[in-house]
């Protein structure tokens, strides 16, 4: 059963006893203050039931379980060698399916492909200027046992030089580590992850989930969204492998041809992350922190440089928070250009808005509303949706607000890239009509007339990069340049086959017309940039394309999202396409001569279509260059606006959160400590790990006036502002399976009692385990006082809190490690291969806990693999979507395989004791 009360105190009155658990004790000790009563002594660990997973051999004969004795006789706690703490991190959304090695047809107006690699022949021509994907590397042998950092070779024996990158199939720009632990982790990531996440080594066209630098260990170890220094179980990179989220093709697509993740692989990753230090701050070395005063001063100075008639229309976008949070110079260059690319993609004038920064650090981009063709009401619409609207406590702020005639003349550029690149704000700012006929009327496209007069030009093909079935693309000339639209199908049979019904769509006077299900359009804006539109076959505008028709592997739900998905695929404009319909139909005498002649006129030969697409490609590239942008620029293989979009949706570390409030980390911490219990709770989560973006966004303004001198602005009712719903794509963590684990203090003294709190975003079965320096785990939840470990989403589970009759006393200097695991779908009473009976085995010990947890996951993964091997293609597709639904918090279809119904979230914190 699930408890209904929102606050559960784990620790109940039992015969007036106070139970004390010594955290990280060398032999997990439980201490009870009782009168000769052995209340907490657990029975030996119960063997798994006959239908459970095989027991961990190390658990079969556990070390002596917690023994009951007076607290005064407690054995001293031992430190755990692991640095920084970490709370719950949202389990990122599942990744999309691997793409075929070659690029999709160039003019397909949507996002990247998601078709089974083995089933898709490479298209005839790659996308212009796209990097040529390398063949997937051959599976590496399982890594050799990895020495711990303490066992590193003596300095006198220099490490051998790494083998030449070319010999291992590694691109030259990737540094192969010489450190044994890092090299072992590198090999694991190469074997299991590089095919989807390393630019230059992909078996798809672009990096999955917009993450393309998996083998740059120095970069990912400095990204707290991926790696928490010294804390494997708190690191999202490790969590995803341990919890069977990654590799995506193995765990979501049930691809049994890919190598299995072994226990040695997981241990290699664990060893490497344990040895990492805090590298996030290193990127800020020598960088001056940019304050709110600096921002206002730079904007004020820029306004004074403007002609009088332009001052009122000046507006600004800041990337200062990213700079202060140690984003690299390379990344900042991409972010600036990605922001300006998006701004131009929302323009209504014929002139481009050029990239221009107004501050020394190049973190503030200035624009003029008139140059975009925007009104003040358009800016007010942006502000009405802005979740960070605050007036800084800076005297010069009133000057810039008065001069620009707005309460807030600047917004954060990363938020804008995330919100304005997708519906509904994208549709609103671009003034997109509600239906397809409205769009063609606005752009002046006489669709039927152009088709009848053979002005329209078509290409059709069986497979495309984004569509799951055959697809037709069609070009029309418009006054601003070009209008491309697609006809997409839910199947490829009967009237949905272009090779049987090449003419259409179905309308009066057209024989043999096809019947399509929807379409995607790309059109030239007056400034030469591109606009995007999705619609159903009846013309109704869509925010997202149905995944059974089109997919975007960079989105966590695989759906093509209008705007941002299209920008990611068409990063440099139109993409080449090779028509297959013309040759097939004109050579087939079963079609009438009229049909064959009509097809020959509507479907030009490939040479002519290539020239048309090249002209349109150059038109867009020319516009980007006029705006001061590099059309080929990417960040680890990710298109520039998508890179900024992703940076915003990533989870936040303390340093990143502090930068968003405008303070260095230490000042931020002190301000939040002074701001009261709720602010302290958020600060503690950030201090011990990362916080999902959607949660942080909701909390931001709540603490502005308590922790800063800024004042919250109400921008919801500004003149002319349009009410717009929240973005349809939540940040990647939104809706995912997330565990929050925090302690009540940042650090403790010997003898202090710790209070732990756990919150899950899903209904699940929770385990909390303390792990000592020898690797022995003590199950501290569930226990004999609270046997039910089923928890509801949002329920707070408090361990050792005030009024509880058991407590967790810290007895040894060093590091305390606590791991939380919550399971959905199976093994809801098992942890690390041990079936838990909280009554008979309360506070039981699990020797070699980390290795046992790894073995349990590997055993379950192998069972899933065996189940998947018996599925046909349709069943695998059903299982894939069922597991995506499970991972994103949606309903799982009945009859889905067991492997698709399972989900695990885990996290860990490491607490200093002095």
Find the helix packing angle between 665-674 and 677-687, rounded to 10°.
150
pLDDT exceeds 60 at position 104: no
- The answer to whether residues 770 and 778 touch, using CB atoms and an 8 Å cutoff, is yes
pLDDT band with cut points at 50, 70 and 90 for residue 492? confident
* Nearest by Cα to 657 from 296, 225, 285, 336: 225
User: Residue 882: its pLDDT value, please?
Assistant: 60
Please tell me what DSSP assigns to residue 269: H
Residue 878 lies in a domain: yes
Mean of pLDDT values over 455-472: 87
Q: Look at residue 298 and tell me whether its pLDDT is greater than 80.
A: yes
pTM greater than 0.85 (yes/no) = no
* Paired strand residues for 19: 32, 806
Task: Please indicate, yes or no, whether residues 421 and 444 belong to a single structural domain of this protein.
Answer: no
Task: Find the largest Cα–Cα distance for the chain.
Answer: 101
Per-residue confidence (pLDDT) for residue 566, from 0 to 100: 95
pLDDT-wise least confident of 16-25, 327-336, 398-407, 900-909: 16-25
Which tens digits make up the pLDDT trace of 622-654?
999 999 999 999 999 999 999 999 999 999 999
Which 3 state secondary structure label does DSSP give 519? Answer: strand
CA pair distance 497, 448, nearest whole angstrom: 21
Residue with tokens 């100075």: 301
In a domain, 2, yes or no: no
pLDDT bin (cut points 50, 70, 90) of residue 727 is confident
Q: Does residue 512 fall inside a structural domain?
A: yes
**Cβ atoms of 535 and 71 closer than 8 Å:** no
Matching residue, tokens 């030089």: 161
Say if residue 615's pLDDT is above 80: yes
Residue 84 has pLDDT above 50, yes or no: no
Give the DSSP H/E element, type plus range, for residue 190. Answer: helix 180-192
Is the pLDDT at 42 greater than 70? The verdict is no
Give the separation between CA 182 and CA 469, rounded to whole angstroms.
Answer: 43
In this prediction, residue 65 carries a pLDDT of: 33
Task: Check whether residue 245 and residue 316 sit in a common domain.
Answer: no
Q: Are 575 and 108 in contact (CB under 8 A)?
A: yes
Half-sphere exposure of 186 (CA within 13 A, CB side): 19
Residue 16 reports pLDDT greater than 50: no
For residues 457 and 391, membership in a common domain is answered with: no
Residue that the structure tokens 């639209």 belong to: 485
* pLDDT tens-digit series, residues 769-801: 998 888 888 898 998 888 888 999 999 999 988
Band (pLDDT 50/70/90 cuts) for residue 248 is confident
Q: SS3 for 555? A: coil
Ranges 579-593, 699-713, 897-911: which has the least confidence: 897-911
Mean pLDDT of the chain: 80
Residues 801 and 877 in one domain: yes
| Enclosing domain of residue 895 | 7-88+738-913
Q: Which residue has the tokens 């003019």?
A: 107
> Residue 41: is the preceding peptide bond cis (ω within 30°)?
no
What's the pLDDT at 849? Answer: 85
Q: Over pLDDT 90: what percentage of the chain?
A: 52
What are the φ and ψ backbone dihedral angles of 312, each rounded to 5 degrees? -60, -30
Cα four-point dihedral sign 102, 104, 105, 107: negative
**Distance (Å, whole) CA 759 – CA 88:** 8
| pLDDT higher than threshold 80 for residue 10 | no
> Same domain, yes or no, for 487 and 585?
yes
- Predicted pLDDT of residue 462: 87
Domain boundary among 597, 623, 649: 623
885 pLDDT above the threshold of 70 = no
Judged against a pLDDT cut of 80, whether residue 822 lies above it is answered with yes
Query: Using CA atoms, how far apart are residues 543 and 565, in angstroms rounded to an integer?
Result: 11
pLDDT tens digits for range 109-148: 343 333 333 333 343 333 334 333 333 333 333 444 433 3
Token pair listed for 47: 């063997």
| DSSP codes joined into one string, 85-145 | -----BPPPPPPPPPPSSPPPBT--S----S-GGG-PPPSSPPTTPPPPPPPPPPPPPPPP
8 A C-beta contact, residue 608 and residue 629: no
Number of structural domains, the chain? 4
**Position 264 confidence tier, pLDDT thresholds 50, 70, 90:** very high
| Amino acid 141: pLDDT | 39
Question: What mean pLDDT is predicted for residues 287-306?
Answer: 97
The candidate with the shortest Cα–Cα distance to 871, out of 883, 889, 859, is 883
The stretch 96-115 carries a mean pLDDT of 38
Q: Is residue 114 part of a domain?
A: no
**Can you say how many angstroms the Cα of residue 209 is from the centroid of all Cα atoms in its chain?**
6
Q: Is the pLDDT of residue 733 over 90?
A: no
Residue 612 belongs to some domain of the structure: yes
Residues 185 and 322 placed together within one structural domain of the fold = no
Helix boundaries (H) for 420-494: 425-429, 436-443, 447-452
**What is the reported pLDDT for 27?**
33
Q: Which of 105-114, 158-167, 300-309, 832-841 has the lowest mean pLDDT?
A: 105-114
Residue 608 pLDDT level (bands cut at 50, 70, 90): very high
- pLDDT tens track for 672-714: 999 999 999 999 999 999 999 999 999 999 999 999 999 999 9
Beta strands 638-639 and 739-743 are: unpaired
Do residues 419 and 440 share a domain?
no
Residue 739, Cβ density class (10 Å: 0-12 exposed, 13-18 middle, ≥19 buried): buried
Is the same domain home to 390 and 528?
no
Contacting residues for 177 by C-beta, under 8 A, at least 6 apart: 162, 183, 186, 217
Concatenated DSSP letters of 724-749: -PPPSS--TTTTS-BEEEEES-SSB-
Residues 780, 799 contacting (CB under 8 angstroms): yes
Least confident residue range of 53-62, 394-403, 573-582, 846-855: 53-62
In a domain, 833, yes or no: yes
Q: What is the pLDDT of residues 361-412, one digit of tens each?
A: 999 999 999 999 999 999 999 999 999 999 999 999 999 999 999 999 999 9
Q: Any alpha helices (H) in 543-701, and if so which ranges?
A: 564-569, 581-586, 593-602, 606-626, 640-649, 654-661, 665-674, 677-687, 693-699
**Averaged pLDDT, 315-334:** 97
- Same domain, residue pair 607 and 653: no
Q: What is the DSSP letter of 828?
A: T
> Given a cut of 70, is residue 226 above it in pLDDT?
yes
Model confidence band, residue 838 (pLDDT cutoffs 50, 70, 90): confident
Separation between Cα atoms, residue 418 and residue 697, nearest integer Å: 12
Query: How many Cα atoms occupy the beta-carbon half-sphere of 772 within 13 Å?
Result: 26
On whether residue 562 sits in a domain, the answer given is yes
Contacts 24+ apart (CB under 8 A), 214-218: 214/189, 215/170, 215/174, 215/186, 215/189, 215/190, 216/174, 216/175, 216/636, 217/175, 217/177, 217/182, 217/185, 217/186, 217/189, 217/272, 218/175, 218/279
For residue 536, count other CB atoms closer than 10 A to its CB.
16
831, part of any domain = yes
Query: Could you give the angle at which helices 640-649 and 329-344 cross, rounded to 10 degrees?
Result: 110
pLDDT at 204 over 70: yes
Nearest Cα to Cα of residue 903 among 913, 892, 895, 914: 892
Residue 827 has pLDDT above 60, yes or no: no
The predicted-structure confidence for 502-554, as pLDDT tens digits, reads as follows: 998 976 567 678 989 999 999 999 999 999 999 999 999 999 988 778 878 77
Distances (CA, A) of 514 to 220, 264, 468, 549: 48, 54, 17, 16
Both 757 and 778 in a single domain? yes
Closest C-alpha to 30, from 16, 17, 41 = 41
Q: Which of 224, 251, 267 is the last residue of a domain?
A: 267
Percent of the chain with pLDDT over 70: 74
Asked if 195 and 163 sit in the same domain, the reply is: yes
How high is the pLDDT of residue 243? 79
Residue 476 burial by CB count (10 A; 0-12/13-18/19+): exposed, middle or buried? buried
pLDDT of 30 above 80: no
The confidence score (pLDDT) of residue 483 equals 99
- What SS3 state is found at 849? helix
Nearest residue to 58 (alpha-carbon basis) of 861, 855, 826? 855
Does residue 885 sit in the same domain as residue 898? yes
pLDDT at residue number 140: 38
């Amino acid at each position: 059963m699930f408890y209904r009360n929102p606050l559960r105190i784990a620790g109940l009155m039992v015969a007036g006893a106070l139970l004390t658990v010594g955290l990280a004790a060398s032999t997990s000790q439980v201490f009870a203050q009782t009168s000769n009563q052995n209340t907490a002594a657990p029975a030996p660990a119960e063997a798994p039931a006959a239908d459970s997973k095989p027991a961990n051999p190390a658990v079969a004969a556990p070390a002596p379980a917690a023994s009951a004795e007076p607290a005064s006789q407690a054995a001293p706690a031992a430190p755990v060698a692991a640095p920084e703490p970490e709370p719950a991190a949202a389990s990122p959304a599942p990744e999309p399916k691997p793409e075929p090695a070659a690029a999709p047809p160039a003019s397909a107006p949507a996002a990247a492909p998601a078709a089974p690699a083995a089933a898709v022949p490479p298209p005839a021509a790659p996308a212009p200027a796209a990097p040529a994907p390398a063949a997937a590397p051959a599976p590496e042998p399982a890594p050799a046992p990895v020495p711990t950092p303490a066992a590193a070779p003596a300095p006198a024996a220099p490490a051998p030089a790494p083998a030449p990158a070319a010999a291992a199939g590694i691109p030259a720009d990737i540094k192969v580590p010489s450190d044994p632990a890092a090299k072992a982790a590198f090999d694991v990531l190469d074997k299991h992850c590089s095919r989807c996440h390393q630019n230059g080594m992909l078996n798809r066209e672009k990096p999955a989930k917009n993450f393309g630098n998996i083998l740059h260990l120095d970069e990912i170890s400095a990204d707290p969204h991926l790696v928490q220094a010294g804390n494997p179980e708190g690191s999202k990179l490790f969590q995803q492998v341990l919890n069977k989220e990654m590799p995506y093709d193995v765990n979501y697509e049930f691809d049994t041809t890919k190598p299995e993740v072994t226990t040695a692989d997981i241990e290699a990753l664990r060893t490497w992350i344990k040895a990492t230090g805090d590298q996030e701050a290193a990127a800020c070395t020598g960088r001056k922190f940019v304050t709110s005063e600096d921002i206002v001063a730079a904007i004020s100075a820029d306004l004074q440089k403007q002609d009088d008639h332009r001052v009122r229309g000046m507006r600004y976008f800041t990337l200062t928070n990213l700079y202060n949070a140690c984003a690299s110079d390379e990344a900042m260059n991409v972010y600036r250009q990605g922001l300006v690319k998006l701004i131009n993609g929302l323009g209504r004038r014929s002139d481009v808005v050029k990239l221009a920064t107004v501050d020394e650090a190049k973190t503030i981009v200035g624009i003029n509303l008139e140059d975009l063709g925007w009104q003040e009401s358009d800016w007010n619409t942006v502000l009405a949706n802005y979740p960070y609207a605050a007036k800084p406590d800076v005297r010069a702020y009133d000057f810039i607000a008065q001069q620009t005639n707005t309460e807030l003349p600047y917004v954060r550029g990363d938020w804008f890239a995330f919100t304005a690149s997708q519906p509904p704000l994208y549709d609103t700012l671009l003034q997109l009509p509600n239906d397809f006929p409205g769009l063609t009327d606005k752009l002046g496209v006489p669709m039927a007339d152009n088709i009848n007069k053979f002005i329209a030009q078509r290409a059709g093909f069986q497979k495309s990069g984004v569509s799951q079935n055959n697809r037709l693309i069609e070009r029309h000339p418009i006054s601003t340049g070009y209008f491309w639209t697609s006809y997409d199908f839910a199947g490829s049979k009967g009237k949905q086959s272009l090779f049987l019904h090449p003419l259409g769509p179905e309308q009066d006077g057209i024989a043999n017309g096809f019947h399509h299900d929807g379409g995607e359009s790309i059109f030239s804006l007056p400034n030469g940039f591109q606009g995007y539109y999705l619609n159903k076959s009846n013309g109704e505008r869509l925010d997202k394309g149905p995944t059974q028709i089109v997919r975007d592997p960079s989105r966590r739900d695989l759906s093509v999202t209008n705007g941002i998905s299209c920008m990611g695929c068409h990063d440099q404009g139109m993409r080449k396409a090779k028509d297959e319909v013309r040759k097939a139909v004109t050579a087939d005498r079963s079609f009438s001569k009229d049909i064959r002649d009509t097809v020959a006129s509507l479907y030009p030969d490939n040479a002519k279509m290539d020239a048309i697409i090249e002209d349109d490609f150059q038109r867009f590239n020319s516009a980007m260059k006029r705006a001061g942008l590099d059309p080929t620029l990417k960040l680890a293989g990710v298109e520039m606006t998508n890179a900024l979009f992703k940076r915003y949706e990533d989870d936040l570390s303390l340093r990143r959160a502090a930068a968003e409030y405008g303070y260095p980390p230490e000042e931020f911490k002190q301000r939040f400590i002074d701001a009261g219990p709720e602010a302290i709770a958020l600060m503690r989560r950030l201090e011990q790990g990362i916080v999902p973006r959607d949660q942080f966004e909701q909390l931001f303004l709540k603490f502005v006036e308590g922790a800063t001198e800024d004042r919250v602005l109400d921008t919801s009712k500004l003149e002319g502002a349009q009410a717009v719903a929240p973005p349809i794509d939540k940040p990647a963590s939104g809706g995912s399976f997330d565990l929050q684990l925090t302690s009540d203090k940042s650090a403790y003294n010997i003898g202090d009692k710790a209070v732990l709190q756990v919150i899950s975003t899903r209904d699940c079965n929770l385990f909390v385990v303390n792990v000592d320096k020898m690797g022995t785990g003590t199950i501290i939840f569930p226990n004999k006082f609270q046997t039910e470990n089923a928890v509801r989403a949002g329920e707070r589970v408090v361990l050792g809190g005030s009024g509880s009759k058991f407590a967790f006393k810290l007895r040894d200097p060093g590091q305390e490690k606590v791991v939380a695991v919550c399971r959905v779908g199976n093994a809801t009473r098992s942890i690390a291969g041990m079936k838990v009976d909280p009554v008979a085995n309360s506070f039981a010990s699990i020797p070699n806990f980390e290795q046992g947890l790894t073995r349990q996951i590997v055993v379950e993964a192998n069972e899933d693999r065996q189940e998947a091997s018996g599925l046909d293609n349709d069943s695998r597709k059903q299982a894939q979507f069922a597991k995506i639904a499970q991972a994103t918090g949606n309903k799982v279809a009945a009859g889905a395989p067991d492997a698709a119904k399972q989900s695990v979230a885990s996290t860990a914190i490491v607490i200093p004791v002095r």
